[in-house]
Each structure stands twice: as C-alpha cells, then as structure tokens.
Amino acid sequence: MPRQNPAEMVDPSSDGAAEYVELGERSSPKLDKYQKVSVIPLVFLIFYEVSGGPFGIEDSVQAAGPLLALIGFLLVPFAWSVPEALITAELGTMFPENGGYVVWVSSALGPYWGFQQGWMKWLSGVIDNALYPVLFLDYLKSAIPELEGGLPRTTAVLALTVVLTYMSYRGLNIVGWVAIFLGVFSLLPFIFMGFVAVPRLDASRWLVMDISDVNWSLYLNTLFWNLNYWDSISTLAGEVENPSKTLPKSLFYALLLVIFGYFFPLLVGTGVVPLNRELWTDGYFSDIGQMLGGVWLRTWIQAAAALSNMGMFLAEMSSDSFQLEGMAIRGMLPELFAKRSPYGTPLVGILFSASGVILLSWMSFQEIVAAENFLYCFGMIMEFIAFVKLRIDHPAESRPYKIPLGTVGSIIMCIPPTVLILVVLAFASFKVMVISMVAIMIGLVLEPCLRYSERKGWFKYSIIADNHDYHSAYQ
C-alpha cells in the first residue's frame, strides 16, 4: 500500500502539488485549527517535564551530604541543563514541528537513526511516567494505609493512570493551565517554609562534606534524573504559539524556576535541621515542614508532592504522545499515530503511551531512574552529534534562535554534558545495562520490521520528502 502524502491527509482540498518550504517557515501540518500554547503555560509544562519541584532530591543529601548536594544543584545545571536547553531552543525553532529531537536526528543522520532516537526517548519517557502514579500513592499511604500494597494499590495505580490519561486526551491547553496551578501550589509551601526557617538557620551545616563517604552512583543518578528532559518540550513545538520567540523565552524562565525550585528548599532544609543523612529519603521535606510549621505544613507539602507527580505525568504524557504523532507524520510509524482527537490530541499516541506506563509500573523506584537515565544518555549523545553536524553541514540554514557560538564553541559546549553522560553510564549496574541494551537492540530490529510492513501494505504510512533534503521539508 503506498504512503499517503501528509499534505493530502491534512487537507482534503489539496491539489497534490509538491510544496517546498525553507526550514523554519512552517510547523507540523494541520495545526492551525487548534489553540496554541503561550509562554506561561509552556514555562510550567517545561517545569514539569524537568522538575516538578524538590520532591525526589532528598537522596542527594543522603548520598553525598549537604555541601555536595548544594553544589550539585547549583553548578550541574550550568554544565548540563543550560547546554541542553540552548540546543533545544536552537533546534526547536529550526524545526518547529511535532517530533522534536526525532526530526533533528533524522535531518542530520538519516531516518533510521531518527527512529532509534524516537524509540529510546519514547521508552525513556514511558519508563519515567510509570514512576509518577506510584509516587503519588506513596505520599498518600500514610493517610490511607490500604494503599501500601496488594489489590487496593494496584487498582489505585490503574485508576489514577486512566484519570490522568483522560486529562491528557482533553487537550494540551488544559494540561498547560493545570500545570500552572500545580506548579504554584507545589512551590508555595517551600517559600513559606523558608521564611519560617530564617531564625533557625545555621550556615555551618551547609559546609558538611565527607568525600570518603559518598555514594557516587546514587548522587549522580539523583542529579541527572532531576535535571534532564529539557528537550522533551521540543516534541510538541508544533503546538506552540510563535515558537521562534515563545520557545527560547519559556526555556529561559523555566531554567530559573527549576534551579530555584531545587536550590532554595535544599538550602532551607539542610540549614535548619541537624544532619542525619539516613533520614534524607523521599518525603523528608514534609518531616522538616512539620518541625517548622506543624502538621498543617507537613500536610501541605505532602499534598503538593502528590499533585506534583500528577503534573509530571501530564507533561510527560503530552510529550510522549506528540512525539509519536510527529514520527507518524514523517512516515516512521503507521499513519494512525497521527490521527487527532476532537480536542486536538494524538489519541493513539496517548493510548499507546498509557499502556506502556501500566506495563512498566511494576519496576522499583531505583530501577526506573537508572534505566531511564541509561536510555536517555544514548539519546542525548545522538542529539549532540546531530546539533554539531547540522552546524557544520548547514551553517546558512534559518535558525530563528541561534546559540551565539561558532562551530568550535558549539563542540566545546557539548563536552561537559557528554562527560557527565559517560560518568552516569559508567556507574550503571549490570542489570540496568543488560535491560537497556536489550531495549536498544529491539529498536534496531523494529525499524526494519516497520519498513517491511510498509512494503507489504499491512499499515498505511504518510510520505515525506527525504529528510536530508533541507529545501523540501514537506512533499
């Protein structure tokens, strides 16, 4: 069965003539009828793609002590988050269409490697999203002991996944405004906690460090997990209002919000209570809140943590599903992944991603973080290669936002995050390595299988001009 031209698929009145556009002149097809996302909702969508608040950073203190934890969340963003956000701003505005990093890698390295990028990033995102319903219930089990395990917990995980998936189905603007509410609600208790803590702060507690007693694997995985996924917002660039201006601006504001949302609570928490590293596990901020403000502040922080997991689920689900839509538009997946619901959301992509979340929800917290970090690292290496290659091969192409560095400067900028990636990979356990390598090998085989299904006519695929042809972005 021949592929269907996406221009015909999205516009029945099309006369079939090929349309040639310069890079950056248009976003994904069939998007004008849907309401676009503006700056403020986009800032909080990015915030929830990356962070969601300080919930989950407590392990950094347990692993390395206060000083290294503070240094990590203050300096690592400049070595890792800033380069990733800058690359996302440049390539996201260069390719303002759904699919994001899949499109970048396809354009630089070819559609086969673009598919591998999409497979690894989608799988990493789904693994990540499997964590949030579980964490949501973990914060509620102190109030509802039945959620500790067994059938009630399994039922609650499934019900919560269904409810959040339905919210994703109802539209990206709803998700964006929900993210704003959840973001404000999640950060306010820590601002209040900071004011209450001022008389009790002891600056000497911030300087505690024992370099001989550092769990480097836990420390690095905690930092990496809490500071990555800046590129995820690129998968729905086609849904952004005026992406050439909105995307870079939103990434900048979100970067400030993320750094503040980590560093300030960590500064307050480590400065106000005597150090007992064993206590610094998930949920310890709520214990500190009770010490400072009583049960009501503890309850507020627990509620904020639970709702924050909802926000992260919604943001990740949106990114994953629109990525699959972008891949379908480019002919990498069957055309059915590009079908939109009446609310403008990719229905099949949402259902596919939700199914993956449910199937992976049995994994433990540590296994989820390590596995997604491992897969994410490989995807980021391909992004850095694509970024540099596009700079070298196509220096004159339109880039509405361009990092103010030349080719050599761009390569140098990619060195620190690449080193961090190699360190994270080196600290991965053997089990995580084996599981991740099996997942990667599945992707290497899956792409030829999809091409075979196309030749046999088992599924209908969209057709698009060769990804290497920069002046024929859409046929």
Cα–Cα nearest to 173, from 268, 109, 239: 239
pLDDT of residue 35: 66
Task: Give the span between the Cα atoms of 306 and 186, in whole angstroms.
Answer: 9
pLDDT of residue 151: 79
pLDDT of residue 172: 67
Strands (E), 156-300: none
pLDDT of residue 4: 44
Residue type, 27: S
pLDDT of residue 36: 77
| Cα distances (Å, whole numbers) of residue 268 to 299, 306, 422 | 18, 21, 32
Task: Give the span between the Cα atoms of 53 and 70, in whole angstroms.
Answer: 15
| Cα distances (Å, whole numbers) of residue 440 to 115, 214, 384, 420, 447 | 11, 31, 18, 20, 11
Most confident of 82-86, 177-181, 360-364: 82-86
pLDDT of residue 7: 38
48-57, 142-151, 426-435, range with the lowest pLDDT:
142-151
**Computed from CA positions of residues 26, 30, 31, 35, in that sequence, does the dihedral angle turn out positive or negative?**
positive
- The band of 475, judged by pLDDT with boundaries at 50, 70 and 90, is very low
Q: What is the mean pLDDT of the chain?
A: 81
Task: Give the span between the Cα atoms of 35 and 52, in whole angstroms.
Answer: 25
Mean pLDDT for 334-355 is 85
- The band of 20, judged by pLDDT with boundaries at 50, 70 and 90, is very low
Strand partners, 462: 4
54-58, 147-151, 338-342, range with the lowest pLDDT:
147-151
Domains in the chain and their CATH numbers?
34-456 (1.20.1740.10)
- The band of 234, judged by pLDDT with boundaries at 50, 70 and 90, is confident
- The band of 399, judged by pLDDT with boundaries at 50, 70 and 90, is confident
pLDDT of residue 474: 32
Phi first, then psi, for residue 242 (nearest 5°) are 50, 65
Q: Are 197 and 264 in contact (CB under 8 A)?
A: no
- Note the pTM of the prediction, 2 decimals: 0.80
Instruction: Encode pLDDT of 427-449 as tens digits.
Output: 777 877 888 888 889 999 999 99
pLDDT at residue 21 tops 70: no
pLDDT at residue 85 tops 60: yes
pLDDT at residue 74 tops 70: yes
pLDDT at residue 42 tops 50: yes
CA quadruple 12, 15, 21, 24: dihedral, nearest 10: -10
